[in-house]
Amino acid sequence: MSGQRVSATRRIAAPVAAIWAVVADPAGHVRIDGSGMLDAAPDAQPITEVGQTFDVHMDRTPLGDIPGLTKYSVRNTVTQVDPGRLVEWTIGAVDQPPLGHVYGWQLDPVDDGTTDVTNYCDWTGITPELRARRPDWPIVPVSMLEESVAKLERLVLEG
């Protein structure tokens, strides 16, 4: 299953600026994550530039998919920012070799004041070395992305 891009798109009845305020905040990612494993984004600053890093505390216990892997922290590095439109990041610090997958949010305004919001995970760039070591490397299920977009909609509309 490696080497895929999965995404979920939903039209949200809010302007881009309101949605951007949530998706450009790493603490917001914790609140909208659909995996059930993000705990906190301590000291998170709004995402403004490529190369910026943010840490997220995770608890994989609810998933139970990797025996012995419970609580840990992950550094994320911003790979793309187009303010008000796109934010994308990869797992790992700038000084570590990239695994080749990215997560992101893309916002496309619609003329009626709504916004098409896409949450995606792109695994097409996974390195051959990682594929060889982990041919079963998990792909984020579309259902998780759909859940994240639905949570984002609730956060934005509830203010």
Domain of 55, CATH number, reads 3.30.530.20
- pLDDT tens per residue across span 6-49: 999 999 999 999 999 999 999 888 889 888 788 888 888 999 99
pTM for this prediction: 0.84
Q: What angle do CA 156, 80, 48 make, to 5 degrees?
A: 60
The number of distinct structural domains making up the chain is 1
Which residue segment(s) compose the domain that 137 sits in?
5-158
Higher pLDDT, 115 or 73: 115
d(CA 14, CA 16): 7
R_g (Cα) of the chain, nearest Å: 15
